[in-house]
Amino acid sequence: MNEAKFPLGRIVATANAASVLTQYDLETGLLQHVAGEWGDLDEHDRQENEKALKNGTRLLSAYRSITGIRYWIITEHDRSVTTVLLPEDY
């Protein structure tokens, strides 16, 4: 794994995400997110995350579970909380 680029803070998941994602999905997504591997984002959103690492704004990653379910991981601007959620939970 690459080195962590930022702190995750407290890690939480929505009830919906927790009910359909496996422990593997959660761990893999969080490891990629904290390493700056943003997953399924377009180039604009990737660049926004790179800026956010420098200026302290919110970070967003998008992944697919091992069964193909799309999920997001969002770390708040102050790095106090990281949330795992499904797009419909937003």
Q: Which of 89, 87, 80, 73 is nearest to 26 (CA)?
A: 73
How would you write the pLDDT of the chain (90 residues) with one tens digit per residue?
Answer: 578 999 999 999 999 999 999 999 999 999 999 999 999 999 999 999 999 999 999 999 999 999 999 999 999 999 999 999 999 999
What is the structure's pLDDT at 27? 97
Domain ranges of the chain: 10-89
Q: Which residues pair with 75 in a beta bridge?
A: 59, 82
Contact 46, 33 (CB under 8 A): no
What is the structure's pLDDT at 33? 98
The C-alpha atoms of residue 17 and residue 51 are separated, in whole angstroms, by 27
Q: What pTM was estimated for this model as a whole?
A: 0.95
What is the structure's pLDDT at 1? 54
